[in-house]
């Protein structure tokens, strides 16, 4: 069994005085692909934002490869190996695809950055013909691939992926599934995927955790998500 890469213990966080996460404990092993399911507003994005450091936890702890990063800034977590692809992608619309990638690789030396970007473009060949195009004119699917690529440019060990299929056409969803599988294998990435597309999560994740009102309420066999009755429980209301 691979060692744990990230461990969260009794994690609590929220917005201002409003608590949203009420004590989440989970661990992700090296190379493990975990899915998080839950209805709208249950705290899935808040969990990812807290793990990335965009929200400071009010309680609990986060360790990455044994190192306490509970209070570390997002930039420090990125350097330590956590990558984040937020919901809605948030690429830089006025920058070219290439410049978006350069921003992702900003904390590498110029030589390292070039090598990393070249490798990312090789792994995500759809980007090759559009490198000089502005991020803002890309299709939703292309933007999602760019957001993933930009995250890879920081050379993460763990990727936090928030609803990557939202608003994306089916052919690109299939492509993204294959790309994520291949990347996870070739780079031994750990991935924490928040998703409402049950087929997507079922095909990728080896473990699926359910979040309910800011707490993990159980675990579900990914294969069972193809079962319409069981799956119906987790579809958006």
Ligand X SMILES: Nc1ncnc2c1ncn2[C@@H]1O[C@H](COP(=O)(O)OP(=O)(O)OP(=O)(O)O)[C@@H](O)[C@H]1O
Q: Nearest distance from residue 200's CB to ligand X, in Å?
A: 14
150 scored as a contact of ligand X (CB under 6 A): no
Following DSSP, what letter does each residue of 66-127 receive, concatenated?
TEE-TT--HHHHHHHTEEEE-TT----TTSBHHHHHHHHTTTS-HHHHHHHHHHHHHHSGGG
Q: Nearest distance from residue 230's CB to ligand X, in Å?
A: 19
The nearer residue to ligand X, 41 or 93, going by C-beta atoms, is 41
Q: Nearest distance from residue 98's CB to ligand X, in Å?
A: 30
* DSSP run (H or E) holding 224: none
The nearer residue to ligand X, 38 or 83, going by C-beta atoms, is 38
89 scored as a contact of ligand X (CB under 6 A): no
- For residues 18 to 37, the per-residue mask of contacts with ligand X, x marking binding by CB under 6 A and - elsewhere, is x-x-----------------
- For residues 34 to 73, the per-residue mask of contacts with ligand X, x marking binding by CB under 6 A and - elsewhere, is ----x-xxxxxxx---------------------------
Q: Nearest distance from residue 2's CB to ligand X, in Å?
A: 27
The nearer residue to ligand X, 43 or 135, going by C-beta atoms, is 43
Backbone angles phi, psi at 67, to 5 degrees: -100, 135
Q: Which member of 10, 15, 115, 233 binds ligand X (CB under 6 A)? A: 15
Q: Nearest distance from residue 152's CB to ligand X, in Å?
A: 23
The nearer residue to ligand X, 41 or 136, going by C-beta atoms, is 41
Half-sphere exposure of 27 (CA within 13 A, CB side): 13
The nearer residue to ligand X, 84 or 155, going by C-beta atoms, is 84
Q: What are the angstrom distances between the C-alpha of 54 and each of 7, 49, 66, 72, 207?
A: 17, 5, 21, 10, 25
| The two three-digit tokens of residue 157, written as one number | 């060990």
Place of tokens 């939703």: 140
The nearer residue to ligand X, 43 or 83, going by C-beta atoms, is 43
- Neighbour-count burial for 135-154, b at 16+ CB within 10 Å, e otherwise: beebeebbbbbbbbbbbbbb
Q: How far apart are CA 116 and CA 114, in angstroms?
A: 5
The nearer residue to ligand X, 44 or 89, going by C-beta atoms, is 44
132 scored as a contact of ligand X (CB under 6 A): no
In the sheet that 82-85 helps form, which strands lie side by side, from edge to edge? Answer: 82-85, 158-162, 190-194, 33-37, 207-212, 215-220
Q: Which residues contact ligand X by CB under 6 A?
A: 15, 18, 20, 38, 40-46
């Amino acid at each position: 069994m691979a060692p744990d890469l990230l461990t969260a213990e009794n994690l609590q966080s929220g917005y201002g005085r409003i608590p949203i996460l009420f004590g989440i404990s989970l661990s992700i092993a090296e190379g493990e692909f975990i899915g998080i399911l839950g209805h709208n507003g249950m705290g899935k994005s808040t969990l990812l934002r807290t793990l990335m450091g965009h929200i400071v936890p009010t309680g609990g702890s986060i360790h990455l490869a044994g190192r306490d990063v509970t209070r570390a800034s997002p930039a420090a977590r990125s350097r330590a190996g956590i990558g984040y692809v937020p919901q809605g992608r948030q690429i830089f619309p006025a920058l070219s695809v290439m410049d978006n990638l350069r921003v992702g690789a900003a904390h590498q030396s110029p030589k390292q950055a070039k090598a990393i970007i070249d490798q990312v473009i090789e792994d995500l060949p759809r980007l090759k013909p559009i490198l000089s195009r502005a991020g803002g004119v890309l299709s939703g699917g292309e933007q999602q691939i760019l957001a993933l690529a930009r995250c890879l440019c920081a050379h993460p060990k763990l990727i936090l992926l928030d609803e990557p299929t939202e608003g994306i056409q089916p052919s690109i969803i299939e492509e993204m599934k294959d790309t994520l599988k291949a990347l996870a294998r070739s780079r031994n990435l750990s991935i924490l995927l928040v998703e409402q597309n049950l087929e997507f999560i079922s095909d990728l994740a080896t473990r699926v955790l359910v979040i309910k009102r800011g707490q993990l309420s159980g675990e579900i066999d990914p294969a069972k998500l193809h079962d319409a009755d069981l799956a119906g429980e987790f579809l958006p209301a």
